[in-house]
Structure 1
Amino acid sequence: MDSVLALQPWHWVVFGVILVLSELLITTFFILWFGIAAILMGVLLLFLPMLALSTQVLLWTVLSVLFAVAWFKFLKPLSVDKTKAGLSKEAILGEVGQIISAPNGDRRGTLRFPVPILGEAEWAVITQDCVREGDRVRVIDVAGNALVVEAI
């Protein structure tokens, strides 16, 4: 009876490829780890062909959980968009940056943020305050494609 339920390495690989390909339709980036674990089970079964079916399923489950936990704990936080791109004007109000080119007469200045804000690290600025290169300023409003800032 055990020979009827014996899985071959290619069974695991095909199962894994199906799971990985299903990720293309579902796009949760979660099923991918179950598919990778299944493919690894197929490779492992090449080297250890006498593993019992229950052991195979247990190892696949453990690998799947480990990969999923590693994804959520270590890899997913690296892919979080910290630019605030696409957020409203309120997302930029109060942000602090450094003047890299001071405004002069009708010419706008340039401000650089330490982390890109709304997708950009450098912005054109307008100010009523007297600011020089290197001064730190706070965003108080948005006027068109320029930021209105005040000296800190």
Structure 2
Amino acid sequence: MAFQIEYWHWVVFGMLLIMAELVVPSFTIFWFGLGALLIAALLWLMPELGMSVQLVAWAVGSSLFALAWFKLLRPMMADRTKAGIAREAVLGETGQVILAPQPPRRGQVRFSTPVLGDDEWEFICEEPVAIGDRVMITEISGNTLIVKKRG
């Protein structure tokens, strides 16, 4: 009596690999688990596949999943907030005034891309600005931006 690999063996193997990702947070084992689930579906559709074909398909499928993640999906998920980046990285960013400063209240500026984790900031400007004006960050003072009007 020869041992026959069934589709559910691949399901169990794939789920174990995916759960292993919780213990080893490298986000690479996950793709091998997904490859095993792909082989489970393939074996369910074509139960006569030989073991060597299954193993080659698993290696190729897992590699393609990992390649797709690292080359296509991961770059699209890049953090564009600039949170945690040094102050020099945000100097020169421009935003639009949404609340003009009127003493003793500071103005508010909104950025299209979050700056240091937030898209709205209080600001101080030496020259008069109105709602809708574009301003550029020249310095950061605590939780307040120092800006200048952009022409």
Q: TM-score, normalised by structure 1?
A: 0.91
Name which of 48, 51, 54 aligns with 2:49: 51
Cα deviation per residue 1:1-54 (whole Å; 9 max; x = unaligned)? Answer: 9x34x4222221121111101111111222111101101212221221111111
| One-letter amino acid matched to 1:49 | P
Instruction: List gaps (5 residues or longer) in structure 2.
Output: none
The aligned counterpart of 2:13 is 15
Task: Give the alignment's Cα RMSD to 1 decimal.
Answer: 1.6
Structure 1 segment 17-36 matched on structure 2, within 5 A: 17-36=15-34
Query: In structure 1, how many angstroms separate the alpha carbons of the residues matched to 2:56 and 2:92?
Result: 52
Name which of 138, 144, 147 aligns with 1:140: 138
| One-letter amino acid matched to 1:32 | F
Query: In structure 1, how many angstroms separate the alpha carbons of the residues matched to 2:54 and 2:24?
Result: 26
The aligned counterpart of 1:94 is 92
The aligned counterpart of 2:63 is 65
Give the CA deviation at 1:98: 1.0
Q: Which stretch shows the higher mean deviation, 7-16 or 115-124?
A: 7-16
The aligned counterpart of 1:150 is 148
Cα deviation per residue 1:86-143 (whole Å; 9 max; x = unaligned)? Answer: 2222222111111111111221000011111111010000010111111111111111
The aligned counterpart of 2:101 is 103
The count of corresponding residues between Structure 1 and Structure 2 is 150
The aligned counterpart of 1:121 is 119
3-state SS, counterpart of residue 109 of structure 2: strand
Query: In structure 1, how many angstroms separate the alpha carbons of the residues matched to 2:20 and 2:89?
Result: 36
3-state SS, counterpart of residue 80 of structure 2: coil
Give the CA deviation at 1:145: 0.7
| One-letter amino acid matched to 2:114 | P
Q: TM-score, normalised by structure 2?
A: 0.91
Query: In structure 2, how many angstroms separate the alpha carbons of the residues matched to 1:118 and 1:143?
Result: 13
